Amino acid sequence: MKPSEQCKAAGLDSLAELVRITEVSEQTLINWHRNKPKLFRTTVLGAVRVKELRHAH
């Protein structure tokens, strides 16, 4: 699954939304997806939680 597809499957709009929430560059996130998949997944899940909390307020 591509990084953008993983973001969407988790509940984000896109990889760009992950970049906005985390303030981590797109290239770094792509590298994490390739080389550190657990870090990428954890980052995605954290961003989903941040998004949920933003919408709750």
The rounded mean pLDDT for the chain is 97
What is the spatial distance between Cα 55 and Cα 57, in angstroms, rounded to a whole number? 5
Residue pair 18/47 in contact by the 8 Å Cβ criterion: yes
Above pLDDT 70, what percent of the chain?
Answer: 100
Residue pair 32/39 in contact by the 8 Å Cβ criterion: yes
Residue with tokens 């906005």: 20
Q: What is the pLDDT of residues 35-50, one digit of tens each?
A: 999 999 999 999 999 9
Measuring CA to CA, which residue among 55, 22, 20 is closest to residue 41?
22
How confident is the model over 18-22, as a mean pLDDT? Answer: 98
pTM equals 0.94
